[in-house]
Amino acid sequence: MKWIHLTNIDQLTEIDQQSFNRPQFIFKHSTRCSISSMILTRLERSKVPEEVDCYILDLIRHRDISNKIAQEYDVYHESPQVLLIKNGECVYDESHYGITMDAIIEQV
């Protein structure tokens, strides 16, 4: 899995724009949470569709970006959490043990 690190709030504009061309996947990861680490490992062992850009957000370092994501896409903040953005909208979000690559692929 090739992660793009989400470290700048301006990247959200880029994600939004690119979502009209290809799905954008965001994984909100807490480096202090064992569940989040387990989900990260699970995701990294999965096959990701080539047409999806995959972003990872370190919630501890970039809580401001996480808050902006919650506001922009009208989702409740959770950790760990995945969002799939298509055509400028969040079409799928899931958290904790509900996160599976199979479910994400179904939405692509």
How many domains are contained in the chain? 1
Residue 25: strand pairing partners: 54, 84
Q: What is the pLDDT of residues 2-24, one digit of tens each?
A: 999 999 999 999 999 999 999 99
CA end-to-end span of the chain, whole Å?
Answer: 16
Torsion of CA 71, 77, 79, 81, to 10 degrees: -60
pTM here?
0.94
Q: What is the pLDDT of residues 70-107, one digit of tens each?
A: 999 999 888 999 999 999 999 999 999 889 888 888 88
**Contacts of 62 by beta carbon, 8 Å cutoff, 6+ apart:** 6, 7
CB contact at 8 A, 25 and 52: yes
Q: For residue 12, give the CATH number of its domain.
A: 3.40.30.10
Q: How far is C-alpha 30 from the geometric centre of its chain's CA atoms?
A: 12
89 is in which domain, residue-wise?
3-107
Q: How far is CA 23 from CA 3, 30, 68, in A?
A: 14, 23, 19
